[in-house]
Structure 1
Amino acid sequence: MIRSTSPFFGEVVCVGMRWLKGDGTHRDNVICESNEHDTLERFFDVVNHESAQSVRFVHYNGLGFDIPFLIIRAAHHGTKITNQKFTDLRRFSYKSHIDLMQFLANWDFRGRVSFDIACRSFGIPSPKEGKVTGATVGKAFKERNLEGIKQYAMEDVKATHKLFEKLRDYIS
């Protein structure tokens, strides 16, 4: 979760992820260390691991926001990113990243809808209904409500996975 929409003024508070295994199971994790540097180091330890070299990253508006934000903040701290798939931000491709927002909009900015709307239209409970939302992460951080931020991050990950499950057969 991020405290500002600009990587020049904001920071990464925590990162939620779901690692899908070949047997259909998954492992959830929210990385939320005591400072941004350590959070990014731990996150990119996972991303850079040899087992992550063949994965595709699934997100909603990740190419437009989350991934560039994480890369710029990593550069700010000198955190190494060795997984070239993570830094491959090519548009019109699903080889490295599956951006569900871009898929639903057919890569046309006029067709983009919020994650909340996308979830609701596919019958998925929106993670934007909790006590902490993307709009209130900054306030929650000031109040040291890291558990609330972690919970929101994981709900966001779960909803993204549910949306991906509904769309995966239509993405080539």
Structure 2
Amino acid sequence: MADFFEQLGEILFLDIETASQTESLEELNPRMQEEWLKKEKLIRTENPDREPGSLYFDRAGIHAEFGKILCVGVGFFQVKRKENKLQFRTKVFSNSDEKELLSEFHALLTKKKWILCAHNGKEFDFPYLCRRMLIQGIALPEPLQIAGRKPWEVRHLDTMDLWRFGDYKYYTRLELLAAVFDIPTSKEGIDGSEVNTTFYKEKDLGKIEKYCLKDVEVTARIFLAMHPQPEEMELEIISTEESKKEAGE
């Protein structure tokens, strides 16, 4: 049990929220517009009747080449043994300037030898962060450097990967695992399909930040549920400024 709680404090739980690079396809430079239309041909096999370019607003945000990161939510645990309490400290990085946002997140990743954990992080969050950092001219921080490393040298955890138990055909939504473990939903305000509309149409980045942080919390709770301990500890959520100090910023 001691080993588990010792490792727990080394894990940085994270979630990213993304949007299309621009509100409309026409705002992209002509070269990128052409590339999107080629990319979209593969997507439109599922929607053959859609007009070329019509999927940009709904689908571009999931592709790092055509999207951008709006916010990165993070959280980490501190064990308070005397109080029999687990404190989970959270913070969200958001900025209309993606390069500044990623530079701030980069600085956090250099403060400590973190183990990174996200839901579907190995297939989405981690590679998306790497691609957008390089596009913005930011060198990859050590926790995101995986080229040439052996699998056991990569300090990445993924709650979806953990739940697969080796069954790589098995995809499980974060919300389904939350329901299975009776963890409160993160989808009370918006869900992932509404992020682009919330950002471009409603101009409400704050709503996206709250949703992002809630996903971080749900991911952390799921990780705990997957590692039941004989000793139950009270969970306390502490956000933003206090987390900022503890993370060494």
TM range (shorter): 0.7 to 0.9
Identical columns (%): 23
For residues 169 and 5 of structure 1, what CA distance do their matches in structure 2 show? 33
Root mean square deviation, CA, Å:
2.2
Could you tell me whether the CA contact under 8 Å between 1:104 and 1:112 is conserved in 2? no
Unaligned runs of 5+ in 2: 1-16, 20-60, 81-85, 230-249
In structure 1, what is the equivalent of residue 123 of structure 2? 64
Larger Rg: 2
**Given residue 8 of structure 1, which amino acid in structure 2 is its aligned partner?**
E
**Given residue 195 of structure 2, which amino acid in structure 1 is its aligned partner?**
V
Trace 1:116-155 onto structure 2 (pairs within 5 A). 116-127=175-186, 129-142=187-200, 143-155=202-214
Q: Which has the higher helix share?
A: 1
In structure 2, what is the equivalent of residue 38 of structure 1? 100
The CA deviation at 1:41 is 0.7
Trace 1:65-84 onto structure 2 (pairs within 5 A). 65-83=124-142
Higher relative contact order (CA 8 A, sep 6+): 2
SS of equivalent to 2:227:
helix
The CA deviation at 1:92 is 6.5
**Given residue 46 of structure 1, which amino acid in structure 2 is its aligned partner?**
L
Unaligned runs of 5+ in 1: none
SS of equivalent to 1:8:
coil
How many pairs does the alignment contain? 165
Could you tell me whether the CA contact under 8 Å between 1:48 and 1:81 is conserved in 2? no
Query: What TM-score results when the alignment is normalised by the length of structure 2?
Result: 0.61
Trace 1:81-92 onto structure 2 (pairs within 5 A). 81-83=140-142, 85-88=143-146
Partner deviation per Cα, 1:35-88 (whole Å, 9 max, x = no partner): 111111111110122xx21x21111100010110010000000112232x3333
SS of equivalent to 1:63:
coil
